[in-house]
Structure 1
Amino acid sequence: MLADPAGLLAVAIVVAVAVIFGFGIRETFAPVASLKAISLDPALLPDYAVRTVLRMLAAMAASLLFTFVYGTFAAKSRRAEIVLLPLLDILQSVPVLGYLSFTVTFFVKLAPHWVLGLELASIFAIFTSQAWNMAFSFYQALRTIPGDLDEASRAFRFSAWQRFWRLEFPFAVPGLVWNMMMSMSGGWFFVVASEAITADRQQIALPGIGSYVALAIQQENFSAIVWAIAAMTVVIVAYDQLLFRPLVVWADRFRVEQTAAQSVPHSWFLQSLRHSRLIALATRPVTRCLHGLLRVRFLNLRPDTGRTLAGTKLSRLIDVIWYASVAAAAVWIAVVIVRYVAGGTGRGDLVTVLRLGSITLLRVVVLITLASFVWVPLGVMIGLRPKLAERVQPVAQFFAAFPANLLFPFFVIPIVRFGLNADIWLTPLMILGTQWYILFNVIAGATAFPTDLLEAAKTFRFRDWQWWRVVMLPGIFPYYVTGAITASGGAWNASIIAEVAAWGHHQLYAHGLGAYISRATAAGDYPRIVLGIAAMSAFVVLFNRLLWRPLYALGERRFRLD
């Protein structure tokens, strides 16, 4: 007998998913003329859901590739770091609408007569909501690799290729998996903006749940909103059980510890895959190929002998040239932006964006503080209990993925009816883009926390605040800072949605930089779009440089597992 019932079930699921995705991919290469108007017929939601998930998975693949390349360069090159980290701060602060304002035309021109061009524009928009926190997580992991593991890799004379796949990637996997889940949820949060947008007066409405939700909001159709929520729930539970829960179980093998964990996560689908002989036969050639690649001494660079170039005259000269080049490039970019913005705005606009940016900054600080007090203890509790994490994971993903647009009726209608202050009552919408980065990263930190250190803390009878101060907070500190940095960027990004709410003909605007950029985007006012994005980027970079980066350095210096 080739397989047991569980194995046959796994094969059936894999084949069914492949067939469904094959159908969705075929639609991607159809002519633009074949696109139909979005309908609120619930029978079309399965097709819309498949198209949306395909875009999100494609963006996830691109985000992983970006993470490995960008995070590695930022962590290993001090010269590259001074450019890549501030650039990452800027990239995560630029709102999705800001990217789409300038990239939709480019992607459409790549395939002007095919749906593929529009799909690429949507995938890129989702990519911009997924990649940054994954890159931060990978960078943080590479900078906090335990010293004994680093010395062991040097003793075994690993090549750069072997070191990456045998040490750096495995060490980063636990945190990266949870950030992948957060990134997938972040894609849902901006799915309406990525599928149903107006940029430069060009309407784009691709088949998907985001376009469905946008149309339901426009027509004030509550029943369609309910159907969309139901479809989202089914999809999130499905990819949690078939993708992320198996990844969490697989990532558990890479925890850094000297004693076995008392409880481990479980995945019925992964267990079924492991018991399926058909799956084993089908994947055996791929497995052998991957194992062979891991043994290749690719990039076999000369190991570090302890004598670095940092103190040589040549190194100092290279540093001077590099820093001068970076400064010159920054000045040139700033001059270009100033000239472009000055052609379509006035001095009053600069004062306006600084004032509105300060208001949005206040919202971000308050929300991050509140989210930290709530989700740090809860994240630790979930991360230390695999069974609880197994039950909470799909629920957390659902709420993290919940688009703020679906909550507009519950905010707009009471605000309009009772004459409430939009500046105050629209602010809670921003927390949807803030709290989950902190929660998922804290869970990742608690999950990766060595069991032997927990047992040592129990032996020394650490209790209450002493346990938090001496054991847990130092252990999760690098993960929390990563979550807080990405939460800051996510909150700024969410301001585009949270400070502008619509339900049918009702339009509400809160005072803030997000509303300023949203209005400029809708009007196709590129000088003001650039001014708003530049101001937002400046706020985020200064905030990260003055607060989060020093905390990052503290985590690398004092709270790494050595």
Structure 2
Amino acid sequence: LLMLTVFPRSNIGLELSAVLLIVTCQAWNMAFSFYQSLKTLPKELEETSSLYGFTWLQKLRWVELPFATPGLVWNSMVSVANSWFFLMSAEAFRAGDKNFQLPGLGSYMNAAVEQGNTRAQIYAILTMLVLVILLDQLVWRPVVAWSQRFQVDEGAEVDPGDNWLLRLFRRSRLLKWLELRRSQRLLRRAPRPALIRKAREEIQRPGRLGSWVAASAMLGVLLLLALGSVSVVRLLAEVSGAKWLVLLKAGGASLSRVLLSTFLATLWTLPVGLWIGMSPKWSRRLQSVVQVAASFPSSLIFATLILVFQSMGIGLGVSCVLLMVLSTQWYLLFNIIAGAQAIPADLREAASAYRMSLWKRCWNLYFPAVFPFLVTGWVTATGGAWNASIITEIVTAKQHTLRTFGLGAEVVLATEQGSMPHLAASALLMAALVVLFNRLVWVPLYRLAETRYALNR
């Protein structure tokens, strides 16, 4: 709505709001992955960077980013899948008596679902499958193969990382010629020790201009937050106590569904992720299947699945949990695969040498080894489940609206009715529940994973 007021005569505001929604869906998952990599950075790498006197920028470029690359690649696939998931909500939504739509596959599918046009839904699903397969072949498979070079454990049995597109690039004469010209230009450059020393000093000790810019930016952000807080407080003052009680009950219902869906997803992703991650043969065979399945937005078939569940006598309160599992399982699976691939080969060989049973290996080695990655998967999966609650707790199909009691449904109803106080209260309560659960559960688990279960410490 803010973007629409800034650009009232064009679709630029709608396009920017859709892009912002998709960016926010993608960014936090990769941020958690990078944070987890920094917390589990091996001590020998930190000592090496200190020994060579790396600046913070050099350490980021040559140590931290390469170490975090495998996890970032896997989580990037989940982030893109999550953006496809929210395509329908980003391209078509209602606010009050106004219906906003952007040209795109998401709005096309949304219109097909509302009209009950099965043929149009099939066309949209087939088009999405083609896009997902092309993205897998042209982007994800080459990137995953390239990321294998950043595996820290040299003795681990990993996939050699071959791909038809990478082979094509490596055989390209044009790319070889461009690389040769670049190397020749770098060799012809005369060294400038004085400029190098000056640049290092500026990197190590930021000048006054950088400090002033950073302080001014921070002050501007704080002012914007203060102004926004005043507006939010005015809106919240209009919400009655009875309404707050209803929202609290709705928040408890949604939280229980979020935790239940995460638990159900963990039951199958943990063994399957360990199996795929520790077997290069099966990893190579199933990698494309998993990537395509994860990239396909399950939100496109939510309405159809809900109607099927309704015909089977399963209410929306139960079916929305199953649909949340569809949206959260990939966060867990990809993190567990990345954790399984990071298990040191010498520990696996020691478990084999001591002839440990499968259960002892899982309990004493595999589960503790992937625990830091599993915590990251839990954090991102619960975030995805909260987002999915907005889509799954209230669904419109064939001119009929199905609804179950929950905070996600309250957010959608407030948006459709144009009730800004109700919307602000619902969104604030959802954010408060996420932050409270983060402080009480995820922070202690992250601390436990960092101090006790990090194999590189």
**How would you bin the TM-score normalised by the shorter chain?**
0.7 to 0.9
Question: What is the rounded CA distance, in whole Å, between the counterparts of 1:289 and 1:387 in structure 2?
Answer: 42
Which of 192, 196, 204 is the equivalent residue of 1:301?
204
Residue 353 of structure 1 pairs with residue 247 of structure 2: yes
Residue 552 of structure 1 pairs with residue 446 of structure 2: yes
Question: Where do residues 339-350 of structure 1 align in structure 2 (5 Å cutoff)?
Answer: 339-343=234-238, 345-350=239-244
Paired position in structure 2 for 1:535: 429
Shift in Å, 1:262 = 5.4
TM-score by length of 1: 0.71
Question: What is the rounded CA distance, in whole Å, between the counterparts of 2:273 and 2:108 in structure 1?
Answer: 33
Query: 1:530 is aligned with what amino acid?
Result: A
Paired position in structure 1 for 2:47: 151
Query: 1:389 is aligned with what amino acid?
Result: S
Paired position in structure 2 for 1:210: 106
1:129–1:183 CA contact under 8 A, matched in 2: yes
Question: What is the rounded CA distance, in whole Å, between the counterparts of 1:269 and 1:157 in structure 2?
Answer: 38
User: For the structure 1 residues 299 and 448, does the alpha-carbon distance in structure 2 shift closer, same or farther, using more than 3 Å as the test?
Assistant: farther
2:4–2:13 CA contact under 8 A, matched in 1: no
2:158–2:280 CA contact under 8 A, matched in 1: no
1:196–1:206 CA contact under 8 A, matched in 2: yes
Question: Where do residues 6-405 of structure 1 align in structure 2 (5 Å cutoff)?
Answer: 102-105=1-4, 108=7, 112-113=9-10, 116-199=12-95, 201-259=97-155, 261=157, 263-282=159-178, 297=200, 300-301=203-204, 337-343=232-238, 345-400=239-294, 401-405=296-300
Question: What is the rounded CA distance, in whole Å, between the counterparts of 1:485 and 1:252 in structure 2?
Answer: 25
Q: Which shifted more, 232-241 or 427-436?
A: 427-436
Query: 1:127 is aligned with what amino acid?
Result: V
1:360–1:512 CA contact under 8 A, matched in 2: yes
Query: 1:340 is aligned with what amino acid?
Result: L
Question: What is the rounded CA distance, in whole Å, between the counterparts of 1:258 and 1:425 in structure 2?
Answer: 45
Paired position in structure 2 for 1:69: none
2:153–2:345 CA contact under 8 A, matched in 1: yes
User: For the structure 1 residues 210 and 464, does the alpha-carbon distance in structure 2 shift closer, same or farther, using more than 3 Å as the test?
Assistant: same
- Find the residue that maps to 1:198 and give its secondary structure: strand
User: For the structure 1 residues 336 and 105, does the alpha-carbon distance in structure 2 shift closer, same or farther, using more than 3 Å as the test?
Assistant: closer
2:29–2:79 CA contact under 8 A, matched in 1: yes
2:269–2:329 CA contact under 8 A, matched in 1: yes
2:394–2:404 CA contact under 8 A, matched in 1: yes
Q: Deviation digits for residues 19-64 of structure 1, max 9, x if unmatched?
A: xxxxxxxxxxxxxxxxxxxxxxxxxxxxxxxxxxxxxxxxxxxxxx
Question: What is the rounded CA distance, in whole Å, between the counterparts of 1:240 and 1:460 in structure 2?
Answer: 40
User: For the structure 1 residues 508 and 528, does the alpha-carbon distance in structure 2 shift closer, same or farther, using more than 3 Å as the test?
Assistant: same
Question: What is the rounded CA distance, in whole Å, between the counterparts of 2:201 and 2:70 in structure 1?
Answer: 25
Question: Where do residues 399-438 of structure 1 align in structure 2 (5 Å cutoff)?
Answer: 399-400=293-294, 401-412=296-307, 415=310, 420-438=314-332
Query: 1:372 is aligned with what amino acid?
Result: T
1:219–1:504 CA contact under 8 A, matched in 2: yes
Paired position in structure 1 for 2:384: 490
User: For the structure 1 residues 107 and 156, does the alpha-carbon distance in structure 2 shift closer, same or farther, using more than 3 Å as the test?
Assistant: farther
Question: Where do residues 428-507 of structure 1 align in structure 2 (5 Å cutoff)?
Answer: 428-507=322-401
User: For the structure 1 residues 258 and 414, does the alpha-carbon distance in structure 2 shift closer, same or farther, using more than 3 Å as the test?
Assistant: closer
Query: 1:502 is aligned with what amino acid?
Result: T
Query: 2:4 is aligned with what amino acid?
Result: T
- Find the residue that maps to 2:25 and give its secondary structure: coil
Shift in Å, 1:504 = 1.6
User: For the structure 1 residues 494 and 140, does the alpha-carbon distance in structure 2 shift closer, same or farther, using more than 3 Å as the test?
Assistant: same
Question: What is the rounded CA distance, in whole Å, between the counterparts of 2:399 and 2:410 in structure 1?
Answer: 20
- Find the residue that maps to 1:511 and give its secondary structure: coil
Question: What is the rounded CA distance, in whole Å, between the counterparts of 2:235 and 2:43 in structure 1?
Answer: 49
Q: Deviation digits for residues 471-525 of structure 1, max 9, x if unmatched?
A: 2112211111001001111101100011011212111001100001011111111
User: For the structure 1 residues 254 and 103, does the alpha-carbon distance in structure 2 shift closer, same or farther, using more than 3 Å as the test?
Assistant: farther
2:264–2:325 CA contact under 8 A, matched in 1: no
2:277–2:341 CA contact under 8 A, matched in 1: yes
Question: What is the rounded CA distance, in whole Å, between the counterparts of 1:279 and 1:265 in structure 2?
Answer: 20
Query: 1:479 is aligned with what amino acid?
Result: F
Question: What is the rounded CA distance, in whole Å, between the counterparts of 1:262 and 1:364 in structure 2?
Answer: 34
- Find the residue that maps to 2:405 and give its secondary structure: coil
- Find the residue that maps to 2:157 and give its secondary structure: coil
- Find the residue that maps to 1:434 and give its secondary structure: helix
- Find the residue that maps to 1:130 and give its secondary structure: helix
Question: What is the rounded CA distance, in whole Å, between the counterparts of 1:285 and 1:104 in structure 2?
Answer: 46
Aligned residues: 431
Shift in Å, 1:288 = 8.6
Shift in Å, 1:419 = 6.1
User: For the structure 1 residues 472 and 273, does the alpha-carbon distance in structure 2 shift closer, same or farther, using more than 3 Å as the test?
Assistant: same
1:191–1:403 CA contact under 8 A, matched in 2: no
Question: What is the rounded CA distance, in whole Å, between the counterparts of 1:414 and 1:270 in structure 2?
Answer: 44
User: For the structure 1 residues 283 and 183, does the alpha-carbon distance in structure 2 shift closer, same or farther, using more than 3 Å as the test?
Assistant: farther
Paired position in structure 2 for 1:45: none
Q: Deviation digits for residues 272-327 of structure 1, max 9, x if unmatched?
A: 111111233346667899999xx97486428xxxxxxxxxxxxxxxxxxxxxxxxx
- For structure 2, the 5+ residue unaligned runs are 190-195, 206-223
1:174–1:447 CA contact under 8 A, matched in 2: no
Query: 1:153 is aligned with what amino acid?
Result: S
User: For the structure 1 residues 286 and 451, does the alpha-carbon distance in structure 2 shift closer, same or farther, using more than 3 Å as the test?
Assistant: farther
1:379–1:439 CA contact under 8 A, matched in 2: yes
Question: What is the rounded CA distance, in whole Å, between the counterparts of 2:308 and 2:371 in structure 1?
Answer: 41
Q: Which shifted more, 225-234 or 333-342?
A: 333-342
Shift in Å, 1:125 = 1.4
Q: Deviation digits for residues 423-457 of structure 1, max 9, x if unmatched?
A: 22333122122211111111111123333332333
- Find the residue that maps to 1:207 and give its secondary structure: coil
TM-score by length of 2: 0.86
1:499–1:510 CA contact under 8 A, matched in 2: yes
User: For the structure 1 residues 282 and 107, does the alpha-carbon distance in structure 2 shift closer, same or farther, using more than 3 Å as the test?
Assistant: farther
Query: 2:27 is aligned with what amino acid?
Result: A
Q: Deviation digits for residues 192-223 of structure 1, max 9, x if unmatched?
A: 01112223544332222111111111221111
User: For the structure 1 residues 542 and 385, does the alpha-carbon distance in structure 2 shift closer, same or farther, using more than 3 Å as the test?
Assistant: same
1:412–1:506 CA contact under 8 A, matched in 2: no
Query: 2:428 is aligned with what amino acid?
Result: A
User: For the structure 1 residues 130 and 289, does the alpha-carbon distance in structure 2 shift closer, same or farther, using more than 3 Å as the test?
Assistant: farther
